[in-house]
Amino acid sequence: MGEHEESMDDTLSVEEPLEISLATDGNLPEKVSITMRTPGHDEELAAGFLFTEGILTSVSQIQNIAHTQTLPGVESNTLLVTLNAHQKIATDALKRNFYTTSSCGVCGKASIDAIQTVSLFNTQEKPRIKVRAALLKTLPDQLRKAQAAFNQTGGIHASGLFDLDGNLLALREDVGRHNALDKVIGSQFLLGNVPLFHHILLLSGRASFELIQKSAMAGIQVVCAVGAPSSLAVETAQRFGICLIGFLKHDRFNIYTQQECIEP
C-alpha cells in the first residue's frame, strides 16, 4: 500500500523551570527548590511544596507569594514566598535534611520516618471514613473529562481531589506528577482546608512513593490511582493508615491497604 505524509501542527505540554525562594523575617531570600513544571497555578505549587516538605504549617505564616518581575508585565520563572514577621519555620527542612521527594531522586525508610515526625496530622486521631466501591468507579471518567491539558497534548499528569460524595473539588495538571499533587494540596492549604481527612485523591498514573508521602503530609486517607502502586508506596500507605487503590477503572480496582475503608 502507498504511504502518505502530512505536515501539521501539534500541541505540546509546556515544561519550564520554576525557582522557589523563601524570605523570612529580616533575612534575605533563600532558594528552596528548582522544579521543572507546567506554568500555571505556580502560587499553589509553591505553597503545596513548602507544606508537604514540612517547611510551612499554616497559611497564616504567608504574607505574600508573587513572581519576581524582570520585565514590566512579564512573569518570570522565579517565585518569592514572603512570610509574615516573626514566623518560625523548620530551618532544617530548608536544608532538606529530613526527607526528599522524588524530584530529587532520594527516598526510603528515613523519609517514611520523617513524615511521622514532621506531619501535623499523623499524630492526630483521624475520623474513620467509608467509601462506596460504586462511587470510586465513577471517578476516573470524571477526572479524564476534566483533563483539559491532557486532551490537547496527551502527555501530562493530573491529580484530582474529590469529596466523599464523589464531587470533584480541585484538579491540577502538570508535566511532573509531584507538581500536580503539590498544586492540588497547595490550593487547599491556601484556603485553610487542611487536613484533608474527608477527601479522596485520584492520580492519573501510577501511585509512587512521593505521592503517598505528600498525601500523608496532607492527611488524605484515600488515595486512588489509575495505574499501579510501587512497593514502597504500599508500605508507606500501610504505615500511615491510607487506603490505597490501584488500577481503578469503571468496572474494577485493586485494594492494597485498609480494605475496611471500602464498602460494597
pLDDT recorded at residue 114: 64
Q: How big, in percent rounded to 5, are the helix, strand and coil portions of the chain? A: 30, 25, 40
Do 117 and 103 form a contact (C-beta atoms < 8 A)? no
**Domain boundaries of the chain, sorted by first residue:** 16-110, 131-263
Residue the block writes with cell 503545596? 48
Low-confidence ranges of the chain (pLDDT < 50): 10, 12, 97-109, 154
- Residues with a known catalytic role: 104
State the pairing for strand pair 262-263/131-132: parallel
Residue whose C-alpha is closest to residue 192's, from 79, 24, 61, 22: 61
Sign of the torsion angle spanned by Cα atoms 71, 32, 27, 83: positive
* Per-residue cell: 251: 468496572
Q: Compute the distance between CA of residue 164 and CA of residue 5 in angstroms, rounded to an integer.
A: 49
**Topology (CATH) of 131-263:** Cytidine Deaminase; domain 2 (3.40.140)
pLDDT recorded at residue 16: 87
Give the strands of the sheet with 168-174, arranged side by side.
168-174, 157-163, 199-203, 222-225, 243-246, 254-255
Q: Compute the distance between CA of residue 158 and CA of residue 144 in angstroms, rounded to an integer.
A: 9
At 94-124, the pLDDT tens digits run: 655 333 333 443 444 455 666 665 676 766 6
Q: Compute the distance between CA of residue 245 and CA of residue 225 in angstroms, rounded to an integer.
A: 6
At 207-245, the pLDDT tens digits run: 999 899 999 999 999 999 999 999 999 999 999 999 999
Give the strands of the sheet with 16-23, arranged side by side.
30-37, 16-23, 74-83, 62-71
Instruction: Kindly report the CATH number that applies to the domain delimited by 16-110.
Output: 3.10.20.10
Q: State the DSSP H helix or E strand holding residue 121, giving kind and residue range, or none if neither.
A: none
